Amino acid sequence: MVERAEGCTLHLDDGRTLIDAGGGAVAVNIGHGRSEVADAVAEATRRVSYVLPPWATEERVALAEVLRKRWLPEGLTRVGFTSGGSESVDTAVRLALAHHATSGRPERRKVIGRETSYHGLTMTALAVGGHRDRRSLFEHALADHPKMSMADAEDLEKVLWDEGPETVAAVIAEPVVGASAGALVPPDGWWSDVRSLCDEHGVLLIADEVMTGFGRTGKRFGVDHWDVVPDVLVGGKGLSGGYAPLGGVYTTEAVVAPIAASGEGLMFFTYSAHSAACAAGLATLRILEDEDLVAASAAKGVDLLGRLAGLAAHPAVTEVRGLGLMVGIELAGGPGSGLAGAVAAEAMSRGAWVYPAGDGNLPDALLLGPPFTITDGEMDEVVRIVTESVDAACGG
Ligand SMILES: Cc1ncc(COP(=O)(O)O)c(C=O)c1O
């Protein structure tokens, strides 16, 4: 039972504390217990508790403005909000299909994803993703969307030709693969090659920045590391830092134009763009900006990787990697070994939460995604606990 949370620390009702080294589900970018976010949510709720999502409220308009002016890559001027990552991915797929259908290309309905990837839990988000474990109960009922290999753009070209490019609506990928692989960074050139192939074949590129967005990788967005602008960018988690359920879909005028011209629109969810959640998003972005926390994520990420150098030499660890404060520790047990879960359980008993990643396709890994406000002392403690936990679960 978590009684309260502050900074990087969770206080349990039995008096114990846990360092939140996973940032919950890699969402808590600004740290816990920020009263200015709580106040903004309360004020928005007091003023307008609910109106239909397409109606304007101060918080909705202000959040869209700040995102356009200071956060989103150039050209991504159209903004829509949801209640989280899965809804946003689902919306991005509907957007891509609607774009092609209203452009007279209804045969473009496939979305190419990666063999190992996680895009969320709606039936469409599961179907375009490759998380073997999370798909397994529903495999028989999931729509058939093609998959490409993880890090080889030539394979995307092969899949495009195998499927027939004229049947493909979009490609979706995480800039740095999170839940299914543990901070797996693609080779340099991969994102720009994928961008070129999408352009060549009239396919929309969807970047799933639900985990990587809003500073997690040390830049505003993961794609910024490779100077690539997707046609659709999907966000969640870090936008509200865990303070409210909030996701977003950001796209270009060109993607929206044929849909608007057709007179069609995408239906909203009841709680899309909830004003209190938008207020949390605004207050979170203000803290990220005022405290220069994206730069902090970059610098502390390098620092954390340095501190983990000793663990990288551990016989049970095959790789330590990451970008910014999205750090993966790959374990030697092989795919589906369950080692990440075992190490995470050891870490919990020693006072830290780390996110067990891995989906049965790639080797298990631990994912560290602490708040960007993590202190030197807390980083030391996390490294000590994780090292002891790997020793305990895998043999020292
Ligand atoms: C890359 C990515 N996409 C989508 C999702 C789904 O987001 P949510 O759990 O908010 O629905 C996640 C969640 O971990 C994610 O990491």
188 and 63 within one domain: yes
Provide the CA 140 distance to its chain's centre, in angstroms: 26
Does residue 243 share a domain with residue 381? no
Measured CA to CA, the distance from residue 31 to residue 242 in angstroms comes to 9
Mean pLDDT of the chain: 97
* Ligand 1 contact, 235 CB (< 6 A): no
Does any ligand 1 atom lie closer than 6 A to the CB of residue 174? yes
Give the global pTM. Answer: 0.98
| Number of independent structural domains in the chain | 2
Q: Which atom of ligand 1 is nearest to the CA of 208?
A: 1
CATH of the domain at 219: 3.40.640.10
309 and 229 housed in the same domain: no
Q: Is the pLDDT score of 60 beyond 80?
A: yes
The domain boundary, picked from 255, 290, 325, lies at 290
The CB of 302 under 6 Å from ligand 1? The reply is: no
| pLDDT at residue 362 in the model | 87
Residue 48 to residue 46: CA distance in whole angstroms: 6
**Whether the CB of 242 sits within 6 Å of ligand 1:** no
Longest Cα separation, the chain:
64
| 330-366 per-position pLDDT tens digit | 999 888 788 999 999 999 999 999 999 999 888 999 9
Ligand 1 pocket, 118 CB below 6 A? yes
Please indicate, yes or no, whether residues 263 and 155 belong to a single structural domain of this protein.
yes
Among 290, 316, 345, the domain-final residue is 290
Give yes or no: residues 206 and 234 share one domain: yes
- Are 139 and 187 found together in one domain? yes
Ligand 1 atom closest to the Cα of residue 212 is 1
Same domain, 144 and 273: yes
CA 272 – ligand 1 centroid, Å: 16
CATH code for the domain of 345 = 3.90.1150.10
**Phi (first) and psi of residue 112, to 5 degrees:** -85, 125
Indicate whether 374 pLDDT > 90. Answer: yes
pLDDT digits (tens, 9 = 90+) for 75-113: 999 999 999 999 999 999 999 999 999 999 999 999 999
Helix, coil or strand: residue 55: coil
The tokens of 159 are what?
């899949």
- Compute the average pLDDT of residues 309-337: 94
Final residue before a domain boundary, out of 290, 321, 338: 290
For ligand 1, what atom is nearest to the CA of residue 178? 16
pLDDT reported for residue 337: 85
Reply yes or no on whether the pLDDT at 396 is more than 70: no
Q: Which of 28, 83, 86, 223 to mutate to test the pocket of ligand 1 (most atoms within 8 A of CB)?
A: 86
**Domain range holding 117?**
36-290
- pLDDT of 158 reads 98
Ligand 1 atom 6: residue of nearest CA: 120
